[in-house]
Amino acid sequence: MRRAGGQGVAAQALKAKKKVAANVVNFLRMTVEAKISIFSAYENIELAEKMLFEVARAKVNEEDLYWAAMALREALANAIKHGNKLNPEKRVFVTIQLEEGQELRMIVEDEGEGFDPGRLSDPRSPENLLKDSGRGVFYIRHFMDEVSFDRSASGGTKVELRKKLARRSA
Amino acid sequence: MKGSFRDVQGVRVLDLSGKITIGAGDVELRRLVEEALAAGKTNILVNLKDVTHIDSSGIGELVACFTTVKRRGRSMKLVNLPPKINDILQVTQLITVFDVFDNEAEALQSFQA
Protein backbone atom coordinates (compact mmCIF):
# COMPACT_ATOMS: atom_id res chain seq x y z
CA MET A 1 0.00 0.00 0.00
CA ARG A 2 1.36 3.40 -0.95
CA ARG A 3 1.71 5.94 1.72
CA ALA A 4 -0.76 8.77 1.54
CA GLY A 5 2.11 11.27 1.96
CA GLY A 6 3.95 9.99 -1.13
CA GLN A 7 0.86 10.23 -3.24
CA GLY A 8 0.36 13.76 -1.96
CA VAL A 9 3.85 14.83 -3.14
CA ALA A 10 3.34 13.28 -6.57
CA ALA A 11 -0.07 14.86 -6.88
CA GLN A 12 1.38 18.21 -5.82
CA ALA A 13 4.19 17.95 -8.39
CA LEU A 14 1.67 17.12 -11.12
CA LYS A 15 -0.49 20.02 -10.02
CA ALA A 16 2.53 22.37 -10.12
CA LYS A 17 3.46 21.10 -13.62
CA LYS A 18 -0.08 21.67 -14.82
CA LYS A 19 0.00 25.16 -13.36
CA VAL A 20 3.23 26.03 -15.23
CA ALA A 21 1.77 24.66 -18.47
CA ALA A 22 -1.42 26.62 -17.90
CA ASN A 23 0.62 29.78 -17.29
CA VAL A 24 2.54 29.31 -20.55
CA VAL A 25 -0.68 28.76 -22.48
CA ASN A 26 -2.20 31.72 -20.73
CA PHE A 27 0.81 33.89 -21.58
CA LEU A 28 0.61 32.92 -25.26
CA ARG A 29 -3.12 33.46 -25.35
CA MET A 30 -2.79 36.87 -23.71
CA THR A 31 0.16 38.07 -25.82
CA VAL A 32 -0.25 39.68 -29.20
CA GLU A 33 2.67 40.57 -31.44
CA ALA A 34 2.66 42.62 -34.60
CA LYS A 35 5.49 43.78 -36.83
CA ILE A 36 5.77 46.35 -39.56
CA SER A 37 8.66 47.84 -41.50
CA ILE A 38 8.38 51.29 -42.98
CA PHE A 39 10.52 53.37 -45.29
CA SER A 40 12.03 56.53 -43.87
CA ALA A 41 9.34 59.13 -44.46
CA TYR A 42 7.48 60.97 -41.73
CA GLU A 43 4.05 60.16 -43.17
CA ASN A 44 4.77 56.47 -42.51
CA ILE A 45 4.74 57.19 -38.77
CA GLU A 46 0.95 57.10 -39.10
CA LEU A 47 1.11 53.50 -40.41
CA ALA A 48 3.08 52.24 -37.42
CA GLU A 49 0.81 54.16 -35.06
CA LYS A 50 -2.24 52.55 -36.70
CA MET A 51 -0.73 49.14 -36.06
CA LEU A 52 -0.28 50.01 -32.39
CA PHE A 53 -3.92 51.08 -32.19
CA GLU A 54 -5.07 47.89 -33.91
CA VAL A 55 -3.18 45.79 -31.38
CA ALA A 56 -3.94 47.79 -28.28
CA ARG A 57 -7.36 49.36 -28.75
CA ALA A 58 -9.88 48.02 -26.24
CA LYS A 59 -7.05 46.26 -24.40
CA VAL A 60 -5.12 49.23 -23.07
CA ASN A 61 -6.78 52.18 -21.37
CA GLU A 62 -7.05 55.37 -23.38
CA GLU A 63 -4.61 57.36 -21.26
CA ASP A 64 -1.82 54.72 -21.41
CA LEU A 65 -2.37 54.25 -25.14
CA TYR A 66 -2.21 58.00 -25.82
CA TRP A 67 1.20 58.34 -24.16
CA ALA A 68 2.53 55.08 -25.62
CA ALA A 69 1.56 56.30 -29.10
CA MET A 70 3.31 59.61 -28.46
CA ALA A 71 6.45 57.74 -27.37
CA LEU A 72 6.27 55.54 -30.47
CA ARG A 73 5.94 58.63 -32.70
CA GLU A 74 9.03 60.18 -31.07
CA ALA A 75 11.05 56.96 -31.46
CA LEU A 76 10.02 56.67 -35.12
CA ALA A 77 10.83 60.32 -35.82
CA ASN A 78 14.30 59.78 -34.30
CA ALA A 79 14.84 56.58 -36.30
CA ILE A 80 13.82 58.29 -39.56
CA LYS A 81 15.61 61.60 -38.99
CA HIS A 82 18.69 60.88 -36.88
CA GLY A 83 19.08 57.14 -37.55
CA ASN A 84 18.31 56.72 -41.24
CA LYS A 85 19.00 60.39 -42.00
CA LEU A 86 15.81 60.57 -44.10
CA ASN A 87 17.25 58.15 -46.64
CA PRO A 88 14.02 56.90 -48.27
CA GLU A 89 15.58 53.51 -49.06
CA LYS A 90 16.38 52.74 -45.44
CA ARG A 91 13.80 51.03 -43.30
CA VAL A 92 12.60 51.28 -39.74
CA PHE A 93 11.44 48.03 -38.13
CA VAL A 94 8.71 48.19 -35.52
CA THR A 95 7.58 45.39 -33.21
CA ILE A 96 4.63 45.77 -30.88
CA GLN A 97 4.04 43.18 -28.15
CA LEU A 98 1.08 43.41 -25.90
CA GLU A 99 0.73 41.20 -22.88
CA GLU A 100 -2.77 42.05 -21.86
CA GLY A 101 -3.13 43.50 -18.40
CA GLN A 102 0.64 43.31 -17.91
CA GLU A 103 2.87 45.18 -20.28
CA LEU A 104 3.11 46.91 -23.65
CA ARG A 105 6.47 46.64 -25.41
CA MET A 106 7.49 48.53 -28.52
CA ILE A 107 10.78 47.98 -30.31
CA VAL A 108 12.00 50.39 -32.98
CA GLU A 109 15.13 49.58 -35.02
CA ASP A 110 16.76 51.71 -37.68
CA GLU A 111 19.48 51.13 -40.26
CA GLY A 112 21.60 54.09 -39.25
CA GLU A 113 25.02 54.39 -37.65
CA GLY A 114 23.89 53.99 -34.04
CA PHE A 115 24.02 56.64 -31.35
CA ASP A 116 25.12 57.14 -27.78
CA PRO A 117 22.16 58.06 -25.56
CA GLY A 118 24.64 59.13 -22.89
CA ARG A 119 25.44 62.19 -24.98
CA LEU A 120 21.97 63.66 -24.64
CA SER A 121 21.68 66.76 -22.50
CA ASP A 122 18.81 67.82 -20.27
CA PRO A 123 16.36 69.91 -22.32
CA ARG A 124 15.21 71.64 -19.12
CA SER A 125 18.56 73.21 -18.30
CA PRO A 126 18.62 76.99 -18.88
CA GLU A 127 21.04 76.80 -21.83
CA ASN A 128 18.76 74.27 -23.60
CA LEU A 129 15.33 75.53 -22.63
CA LEU A 130 14.88 77.65 -25.77
CA LYS A 131 16.45 75.22 -28.22
CA ASP A 132 14.22 74.05 -31.05
CA SER A 133 15.26 70.40 -30.72
CA GLY A 134 16.64 67.84 -28.27
CA ARG A 135 13.46 66.88 -26.41
CA GLY A 136 12.44 63.62 -28.12
CA VAL A 137 14.23 61.07 -25.95
CA PHE A 138 13.40 63.05 -22.83
CA TYR A 139 9.70 62.80 -23.72
CA ILE A 140 10.00 59.08 -24.53
CA ARG A 141 11.47 58.44 -21.08
CA HIS A 142 8.69 60.48 -19.50
CA PHE A 143 5.86 58.74 -21.38
CA MET A 144 7.11 55.18 -20.81
CA ASP A 145 8.19 53.16 -17.75
CA GLU A 146 11.35 51.65 -19.18
CA VAL A 147 13.46 52.70 -22.14
CA SER A 148 16.62 50.95 -23.31
CA PHE A 149 18.96 51.57 -26.21
CA ASP A 150 20.94 48.92 -27.98
CA ARG A 151 22.54 48.23 -31.37
CA SER A 152 20.23 46.89 -34.07
CA ALA A 153 21.25 43.89 -36.22
CA SER A 154 22.44 46.25 -38.97
CA GLY A 155 24.49 48.34 -36.53
CA GLY A 156 21.85 51.03 -36.17
CA THR A 157 19.88 51.94 -33.08
CA LYS A 158 17.41 49.62 -31.39
CA VAL A 159 15.22 51.23 -28.80
CA GLU A 160 12.90 49.22 -26.60
CA LEU A 161 10.03 50.95 -24.83
CA ARG A 162 8.02 49.32 -22.05
CA LYS A 163 4.89 50.41 -20.28
CA LYS A 164 3.32 48.55 -17.37
CA LEU A 165 -0.40 48.18 -17.82
CA ALA A 166 -3.12 48.31 -15.26
CA ARG A 167 -4.93 44.97 -14.98
CA ARG A 168 -8.32 45.51 -16.57
CA SER A 169 -11.31 44.23 -14.75
CA ALA A 170 -13.42 41.90 -16.87
CA MET B 1 -3.00 69.80 -38.48
CA LYS B 2 -5.45 72.42 -39.67
CA GLY B 3 -4.66 76.06 -39.12
CA SER B 4 -6.55 79.26 -39.79
CA PHE B 5 -6.30 82.81 -38.52
CA ARG B 6 -8.48 85.67 -37.33
CA ASP B 7 -7.55 89.28 -36.54
CA VAL B 8 -9.22 90.34 -33.29
CA GLN B 9 -8.56 93.72 -31.64
CA GLY B 10 -5.35 94.01 -33.62
CA VAL B 11 -4.16 90.59 -32.47
CA ARG B 12 -3.48 87.81 -34.99
CA VAL B 13 -5.18 84.75 -33.51
CA LEU B 14 -3.98 81.42 -34.94
CA ASP B 15 -6.58 78.67 -34.51
CA LEU B 16 -4.83 75.32 -34.67
CA SER B 17 -6.41 71.90 -34.57
CA GLY B 18 -5.33 68.27 -34.79
CA LYS B 19 -1.72 67.12 -34.67
CA ILE B 20 1.25 69.46 -34.53
CA THR B 21 3.74 66.76 -35.40
CA ILE B 22 6.87 66.21 -37.43
CA GLY B 23 6.74 66.79 -41.17
CA ALA B 24 3.32 68.40 -41.41
CA GLY B 25 1.90 70.25 -38.40
CA ASP B 26 5.21 71.83 -37.45
CA VAL B 27 5.67 73.20 -40.97
CA GLU B 28 2.12 74.60 -41.05
CA LEU B 29 2.64 76.34 -37.70
CA ARG B 30 5.81 78.02 -38.98
CA ARG B 31 4.01 79.12 -42.13
CA LEU B 32 1.19 80.75 -40.14
CA VAL B 33 3.59 82.61 -37.85
CA GLU B 34 5.78 83.77 -40.74
CA GLU B 35 2.67 84.99 -42.53
CA ALA B 36 1.63 86.98 -39.45
CA LEU B 37 5.09 88.56 -39.20
CA ALA B 38 5.10 89.37 -42.92
CA ALA B 39 1.68 91.02 -42.49
CA GLY B 40 3.27 93.28 -39.86
CA LYS B 41 1.37 91.79 -36.92
CA THR B 42 2.88 92.76 -33.58
CA ASN B 43 0.81 90.48 -31.40
CA ILE B 44 0.21 86.80 -32.07
CA LEU B 45 -2.04 84.55 -30.03
CA VAL B 46 -1.81 80.81 -30.64
CA ASN B 47 -5.10 79.08 -29.84
CA LEU B 48 -4.42 75.42 -29.03
CA LYS B 49 -8.00 74.54 -28.05
CA ASP B 50 -8.50 71.83 -30.69
CA VAL B 51 -4.94 70.50 -30.78
CA THR B 52 -4.98 66.80 -29.94
CA HIS B 53 -1.26 65.94 -30.22
CA ILE B 54 2.01 67.82 -30.18
CA ASP B 55 5.35 66.02 -30.48
CA SER B 56 8.88 67.25 -29.78
CA SER B 57 9.11 68.70 -33.30
CA GLY B 58 5.88 70.63 -32.79
CA ILE B 59 7.17 71.84 -29.42
CA GLY B 60 10.48 72.76 -31.06
CA GLU B 61 8.65 74.75 -33.71
CA LEU B 62 6.54 76.51 -31.07
CA VAL B 63 9.75 77.52 -29.25
CA ALA B 64 11.43 78.58 -32.52
CA CYS B 65 8.41 80.73 -33.46
CA PHE B 66 8.36 82.24 -29.98
CA THR B 67 12.04 83.24 -30.11
CA THR B 68 11.75 84.56 -33.68
CA VAL B 69 8.76 86.73 -32.76
CA LYS B 70 10.48 87.96 -29.60
CA ARG B 71 13.73 88.76 -31.42
CA ARG B 72 11.74 91.02 -33.70
CA GLY B 73 10.42 92.87 -30.67
CA ARG B 74 6.95 91.40 -31.08
CA SER B 75 4.87 89.17 -28.86
CA MET B 76 3.46 85.62 -29.03
CA LYS B 77 1.25 84.04 -26.38
CA LEU B 78 -0.68 80.79 -25.96
CA VAL B 79 -4.33 80.22 -25.05
CA ASN B 80 -6.71 77.29 -24.35
CA LEU B 81 -4.21 74.53 -23.66
CA PRO B 82 -5.91 71.11 -23.48
CA PRO B 83 -4.73 69.16 -20.38
CA LYS B 84 -2.44 66.80 -22.32
CA ILE B 85 -0.80 69.65 -24.24
CA ASN B 86 -0.35 71.45 -20.94
CA ASP B 87 1.34 68.32 -19.49
CA ILE B 88 3.71 68.15 -22.44
CA LEU B 89 4.79 71.77 -21.95
CA GLN B 90 4.99 71.25 -18.19
CA VAL B 91 7.38 68.28 -18.39
CA THR B 92 10.04 70.21 -20.27
CA GLN B 93 9.40 73.32 -18.14
CA LEU B 94 8.39 75.32 -21.20
CA ILE B 95 5.25 76.41 -19.43
CA THR B 96 7.50 78.91 -17.62
CA VAL B 97 8.75 80.29 -20.94
CA PHE B 98 5.42 81.00 -22.59
CA ASP B 99 2.70 83.39 -21.52
CA VAL B 100 -0.24 81.04 -21.17
CA PHE B 101 -3.89 82.04 -20.79
CA ASP B 102 -7.04 80.07 -19.95
CA ASN B 103 -9.37 82.08 -22.15
CA GLU B 104 -9.20 84.28 -25.18
CA ALA B 105 -10.69 87.41 -23.58
CA GLU B 106 -7.98 87.45 -20.91
CA ALA B 107 -5.29 86.77 -23.47
CA LEU B 108 -6.46 89.57 -25.79
CA GLN B 109 -6.68 91.93 -22.82
CA SER B 110 -3.07 91.14 -21.85
CA PHE B 111 -1.78 92.49 -25.18
CA GLN B 112 -3.38 95.89 -24.48
CA ALA B 113 -1.56 96.33 -21.18
User: Tens digit of pLDDT per residue, chain B (113 long)?
Assistant: 999 999 999 999 999 999 999 998 999 999 999 999 999 999 999 999 999 999 999 999 999 999 999 999 999 999 999 999 999 999 999 999 999 999 999 999 999 87
Q: Containing H/E element for A72?
A: helix A62-78
- Taking every pair of Cα atoms in chain A, the longest distance, rounded to a whole number of angstroms, is 83
**Which one of B19, B33, B56, B85 would you mutate to disrupt binding with A, by most A Cβ within 10 Å of its Cβ?**
B56
Query: Is A3's pLDDT higher than 60?
Result: no
**Which one of B55, B65, B87 would you mutate to disrupt binding with A, by most A Cβ within 10 Å of its Cβ?**
B55
Closest CA in chain A for residue B66:
A130
- DSSP-derived secondary structure letter, A121: P
Query: Is A170's pLDDT higher than 50?
Result: no
Q: 3-state DSSP call for residue A99?
A: strand
Confidence of residue A169 (pLDDT cuts 50, 70, 90): very low
Q: Residue A1, Cα to own-chain centre: how many angstroms? A: 56
Confidence of residue A20 (pLDDT cuts 50, 70, 90): confident
Q: 3-state DSSP call for residue A104?
A: strand
Contact partners, residue B70, CB within 8 Å, separation at least 6? B76
Domains and CATH numbers, chain A: 32-164 (3.30.565.10)
Burial readout B59-88 (b: 16 or more C-beta within 10 A, e: otherwise): bbbbbbbbebbeeeebbbbbbbbeeebeeb
End-to-end Cα separation, chain B, in angstroms: 32
Closest CA in chain A for residue B64:
A132
Please tell me the total count of domains within chain B. Answer: 1
Q: Please check whether residue A84 is in contact with residue A77, taking contact to mean a CB–CB distance below 8 angstroms.
A: no
Q: Containing H/E element for B110?
A: helix B104-112
Rounded Cα distance between B84 and B94, Å, is 14
Q: 3-state DSSP call for residue A92?
A: strand
Interaxial angle between packed helices A136-143 and B83-91, expressed in degrees from 0 to 180 and rounded to the nearest 10: 120
- DSSP-derived secondary structure letter, A135: -
C-alpha distances in Å from residue B46, one per residue of A169, B2, B41: 41, 13, 13
Q: Nearest CB to B60: which of A43, A135, A142?
A: A135
The residue range of the domain holding B17 is 2-112
CATH of the domain at B35: 3.30.750.24
Q: Show the DSSP H helices in B4-101 as ranges.
A: 25-38, 56-71, 83-91
C-alpha distances in Å from residue A9, one per residue of A14, A81, A146, B4: 9, 60, 41, 75
pTM for the whole structure? 0.88
State how beta strands B2-8 and A157-164 pair: unpaired
Q: Tell me the Cα Rg of chain B.
A: 13
A142:B63 CB<8 A: no
- Mean pLDDT value across residues A111-128: 92
Rounded Cα distance between A74 and A140, Å, is 7
Rounded Cα distance between A99 and B36, Å, is 49
ipTM given for this complex: 0.94
Q: What is the dihedral of CA B31, B34, B38, B40, to 10 degrees?
A: 120
The amino acid that residue A109 corresponds to is: E
Interface of B with A in 24-53 (CB under 8 A): 24, 53
Confidence of residue A2 (pLDDT cuts 50, 70, 90): low
